[in-house]
């Protein structure tokens, strides 16, 4: 197929009637700006128009109808008649105008990155056969920072990566051939992603070795033309682990000096280096607790080294104790992020961003929004979303996560009883923070489809689109993606959109409904059904299922008190059983199996019904896909059909495992006779 690595940037030729629609687009271009990024913008425009419309754009000589590519001030100089809009960094303006009897199609960016984003936006519209001839469109990002995290190890393997080996590293070194890294940067740029952390947050200190930094520079060199800043995950113990010092105490001046020198060295090689992502005091990673220091001490230590160069630190809030005593009913891992970071609010430097996972546990199939989003008023924050489907089918099952992310981003924290959606908090809009934004854990690999199957790429696309504009609906995002990836045949678009939009709920149905957690094997592969693996160990992903009932009591009144971390108006929703939504019931409450949901069903019957329904729905997905036979290329058709048929089988495995488990525990048979005593008769 060859073009698969282009994902949503295929620029497939449009059919003749659509090509005609764009006949009045200019035949020439003028590029006003000179830079690496501006060159990419120009080349991309020429390539996209040529591939989709079969026309080769020529440099203008001052008289023809032209595409004008430039920054806003440059455009103003050329066409003073145009009144320039006010836009934030990375924003762009697409404007068709007739001036002095000449047709101008202006693609203007606030900076060269904005201009590149404008080109991608225009080409996306043409690929989707949108009207552009009279365009006047302003776009700017919702928040300043839109980063991707890759959990790549230097040996070339990727933690929780399901799309093959690393595109960056092999055998302890940066790969010789970085073609795929460059292609990846282009894909990211088309979404407006402006930073990428290339190594695992379980970080290897060797990235800081002086012979390694020039290797990182080679990656920065292939990212630069696309406006994507390279950044590194930092092991806080690096000064000691590399043998340079006998301590990594964040308050020791020698340690501060080490980081300053190291950061200066990095910027010497990579002047547009982005900064660091840090996982500390979590799951065995070293951290400031070794010296009795705070997370703020550690974050500020490296932030100060980065500050003179304009770099930032994404400091992860995923700090928790994985040796919790499960016998203590007051213990609760969900409380950890807030307990660790809320008391430090206001102590972080301005170039530190606290990176908070969307939910308080760990990327489960459904969780409430983390209360920490509302718990930092004097600190920058970012939301961490997981594109790689660690707990949601590992790209071997269909699970489009945008509807789930939308729930977190749109969740209203009701601070001071005012509308306070999470998206506004993370973008720094509520407390007028200098920065903030979005981080997505992608973990693409060398597989030609990047993530392991081409439908999963809707999650990478969706993350990028939401990071640019979280107000977009899941429906509009998937419609864009499907058209770009599979073309504009209405039956193809409608079928794939429908499958993708239903897929998260289907996966939830046959794995872990009612907010109970994914019920997967949490100590092993995070994939197979194994609910018992979550109980009676220190990891704190407890379901608390016994013969009487199920669910974690996180209430203020009788439980762990986790609900108390939310603003009062949110507490009022989750604390009383009468208002807690069914889909999160077991996250917040421990109830008997016979408890009656708002839906009118008992909890136990809901388990049976949702698992049988989910397995049926999964089987339907494969049937739906078969309707597309002959409408899309055979390669992708067969690859995806095989995946969906496998998924239908897995859904049955899940259904039976979970239904039998809960029947064994509860002793209550399925009213419909599918599980338990009646099933055996
Ligand atoms: O979900 C867990 C994963 C770990 C990961 C960790 C984290 C990088 O199972 O593999 O480690 O989260 O987010 O730090």
- Considering 60-69, 98-107, 548-557, the range whose residues carry the highest mean pLDDT is 548-557
CA of 546 to the centre of ligand 1 (A): 28
Give the position, in ligand 1's atom list, of the atom nearest the Cα of 357.
13
3-state secondary structure of 357: strand
Ligand 1 contacts CB of residue 279 (under 6 A): yes
- Name residues whose C-beta falls within 8 Å of residue 620's C-beta, 6 or more positions apart in sequence: none
Mutating to test ligand 1, I would choose from 283, 370, 523 the residue with most ligand atoms within 8 A of its C-beta, which is 283
CA distances from 271 to 40, 106, 220, 224 (A): 19, 30, 9, 10
Tell me: the pLDDT tens digits for 536-593?
999 999 999 999 999 999 999 999 999 999 999 999 999 999 999 999 999 999 999 9
By the 8 A CB rule, do 279 and 203 touch?
yes
CA of 159 to the centre of ligand 1 (A): 8
Tell me: the pLDDT tens digits for 445-503?
999 999 999 999 999 999 999 999 999 999 999 999 999 999 999 999 999 999 999 99
CA distances from 32 to 28, 60, 439, 548 (A): 13, 11, 33, 72
Per-residue pLDDT at 680 exceeds 60: no
Give φ, ψ of 289 to 5 degrees.
-65, -25
The residues carrying an active-site annotation are 283, 362, 390
- Averaged pLDDT for residues 284-300: 98
Please give the helix or strand (H or E) that residue 61 lies within, else none.
none
Is the sign of the CA dihedral 85, 91, 96, 99 positive or negative?
positive
Give the position, in ligand 1's atom list, of the atom nearest the Cα of 362.
1
What pLDDT score was predicted for residue 62?
86
What pLDDT score was predicted for residue 3?
60
What pLDDT score was predicted for residue 4?
84
Mutating to test ligand 1, I would choose from 149, 152, 160, 320 the residue with most ligand atoms within 8 A of its C-beta, which is 160
What pLDDT score was predicted for residue 569?
98
Rounded CA gap, 678 and 360, in Å?
39
Please give the helix or strand (H or E) that residue 551 lies within, else none.
none
Ligand 1 contacts CB of residue 151 (under 6 A): yes
Per-residue pLDDT at 35 exceeds 60: yes
Ligand 1 contacts CB of residue 201 (under 6 A): yes
Ligand 1 contacts CB of residue 391 (under 6 A): no
Rounded CA gap, 220 and 211, in Å?
15
Q: What is the DSSP string of 368-426?
A: PPPGGGGT-SSSEEEEEEE-S-TTTTTTTS----HHHHHHHHH-B--GGGS--BHHHHH
Ligand 1 contacts CB of residue 521 (under 6 A): no
For the chain, percent of residues with pLDDT exceeding 70:
99
Per-residue pLDDT at 126 exceeds 60: yes
By the 8 A CB rule, do 110 and 75 touch?
no
pLDDT-based confidence at residue 678 (cuts at 50, 70, 90): low
Give φ, ψ of 579 to 5 degrees.
-115, -5
Mean pLDDT computed over every residue of the chain: 97
What pLDDT score was predicted for residue 253?
98
Nearest CA to ligand 1 atom 12: 362
CA distances from 533 to 336, 519, 523, 543, 544 (A): 21, 8, 6, 10, 12
Give the position, in ligand 1's atom list, of the atom nearest the Cα of 441.
13
Per-residue pLDDT at 651 exceeds 90: yes
Ligand 1 contacts CB of residue 362 (under 6 A): yes
3-state secondary structure of 87: coil
CA of 357 to the centre of ligand 1 (A): 11
Give φ, ψ of 634 to 5 degrees.
-60, -35
Give the position, in ligand 1's atom list, of the atom nearest the Cα of 151.
8
Rounded to 10 degrees, the C-alpha dihedral 385/324/580/499 comes to 40
Ligand 1 contacts CB of residue 159 (under 6 A): yes
CA of 283 to the centre of ligand 1 (A): 8
pLDDT-based confidence at residue 26 (cuts at 50, 70, 90): very high
- Averaged pLDDT for residues 189-212: 98
CA of 200 to the centre of ligand 1 (A): 9
Ligand 1 contacts CB of residue 203 (under 6 A): no
Mutating to test ligand 1, I would choose from 150, 157, 202, 365 the residue with most ligand atoms within 8 A of its C-beta, which is 202
What pLDDT score was predicted for residue 677?
74
Per-residue pLDDT at 679 exceeds 90: no
Rounded CA gap, 312 and 418, in Å?
30
Could you list the beta-strand ranges (E) of 36-81.
58-59, 66-71
Rounded CA gap, 229 and 89, in Å?
15
Could you list the beta-strand ranges (E) of 473-536.
none
Per-residue pLDDT at 302 exceeds 90: yes
The CA angle 91-181-449, to the nearest 5 degrees, is 95
Nearest to 473 by CA among 424, 426, 406: 406
Mutating to test ligand 1, I would choose from 158, 234, 362 the residue with most ligand atoms within 8 A of its C-beta, which is 362
């Amino acid at each position: 197929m060859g073009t698969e690595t282009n994902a949503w940037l295929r620029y497939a030729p449009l059919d003749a009637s659509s090509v005609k629609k764009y006949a009045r687009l200019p035949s020439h271009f003028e590029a006003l700006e000179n830079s690496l990024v501006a060159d990419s913008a120009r080349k991309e425009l020429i390539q996209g128009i040529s591939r989709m419309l079969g026309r080769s754009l020529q440099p203008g000589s001052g008289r023809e109808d032209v595409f004008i590519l430039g920054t806003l001030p440059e455009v103003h100089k050329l066409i003073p008649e145009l009144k320039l809009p006010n836009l934030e960094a990375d924003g762009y303006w697409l404007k068709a105008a007739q001036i002095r009897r000449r047709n101008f199609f202006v693609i203007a960016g606030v900076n060269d990155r904005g201009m590149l984003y404008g080109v991608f936006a225009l080409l996306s519209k043409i690929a989707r056969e949108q009207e552009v001839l009279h365009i006047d469109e302003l776009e700017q990002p919702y928040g300043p920072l839109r980063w991707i995290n890759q959990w790549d190890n230097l040996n070339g393997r990727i933690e929780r990566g399901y799309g093959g080996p690393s595109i960056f590293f092999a055998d302890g070194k940066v790969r010789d051939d970085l073609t795929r890294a460059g292609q990846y940067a282009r894909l990211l740029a088309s979404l407006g992603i402006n930073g990428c952390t290339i190594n695992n947050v379980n970080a290897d200190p060797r990235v800081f070795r002086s012979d390694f930094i020039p290797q990182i520079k080679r990656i920065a060199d292939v990212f630069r033309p696309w406006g994507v800043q390279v950044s590194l995950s930092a092991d806080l113990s690096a000064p000691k682990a590399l043998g340079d010092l006998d301590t990594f105490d964040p308050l020791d001046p020698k340690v501060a000096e080490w980081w300053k020198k190291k950061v200066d060295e990095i910027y010497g090689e990579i002047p547009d280096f982005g900064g660091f992502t840090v996982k500390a005091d979590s799951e065995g990673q070293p951290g400031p607790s070794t010296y009795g220091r705070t997370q703020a001490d550690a974050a500020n230590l490296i932030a100060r080294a980065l500050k003179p160069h304009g770099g930032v630190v994404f400091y992860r809030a995923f700090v928790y104790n994985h040796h919790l005593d499960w016998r203590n009913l007051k213990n609760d891992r969900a409380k950890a992020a807030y307990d660790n970071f809320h008391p430090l609010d206001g102590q972080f430097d301005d170039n530190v961003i606290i990176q908070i996972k969307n939910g308080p546990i760990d990327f489960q199939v459904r969780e409430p929004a983390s209360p920490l989003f509302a718990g930092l008023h004097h600190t920058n924050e970012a939301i961490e979303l997981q594109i790689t489907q660690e707990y949601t089918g590992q790209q071997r099952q269909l699970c489009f996560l945008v509807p789930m992310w939308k729930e977190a981003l749109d969740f209203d924290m009701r601070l001071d009883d005012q509308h306070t959606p999470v998206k506004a908090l993370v973008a720094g809009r509520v407390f007028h923070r200098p920065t903030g934004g979005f981080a997505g854990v992608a973990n693409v690999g060398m597989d030609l489809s990047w993530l392991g199957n081409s439908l999963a790429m809707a999650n990478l696309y969706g993350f990028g689109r939401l990071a640019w504009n979280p107000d977009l609906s899941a429906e509009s995002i998937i419609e864009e993606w499907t058209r770009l990836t599979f073309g504009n045949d209405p039956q193809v678009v409608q079928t794939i959109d429908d499958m993708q939009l239903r897929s998260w709920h289907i996966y939830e149905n046959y794995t872990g409904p009612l907010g109970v957690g994914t019920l997967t094997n949490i100590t092993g592969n995070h994939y197979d059904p194994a609910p018992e693996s979550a109980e009676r160990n220190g990891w704190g992903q407890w379901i608390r299922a016994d013969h009487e009932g199920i669910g974690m009591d996180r209430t203020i009144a009788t439980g762990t008190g986790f609900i108390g971390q939310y603003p009062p108006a949110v507490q009022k929703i989750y604390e009383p059983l009468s208002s807690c939504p069914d889909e999160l019931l077991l996250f917040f409450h421990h109830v008997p199996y016979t408890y009656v949901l708002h839906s009118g069903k008992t909890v136990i019957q809901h388990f049976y019904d949702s698992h049988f329904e989910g397995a049926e729905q999964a089987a339907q997905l494969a049937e739906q896909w078969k309707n597309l036979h002959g409408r899309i290329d055979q390669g992708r058709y067969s690859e995806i059909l095989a995946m969906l048929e496998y998924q239908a089988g897995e859904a049955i495995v899940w259904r039976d495992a979970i239904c039998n488990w809960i029947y064994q525990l509860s002793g209550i048979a399925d009213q419909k006779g599918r599980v338990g005593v009646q099933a055996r008769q």
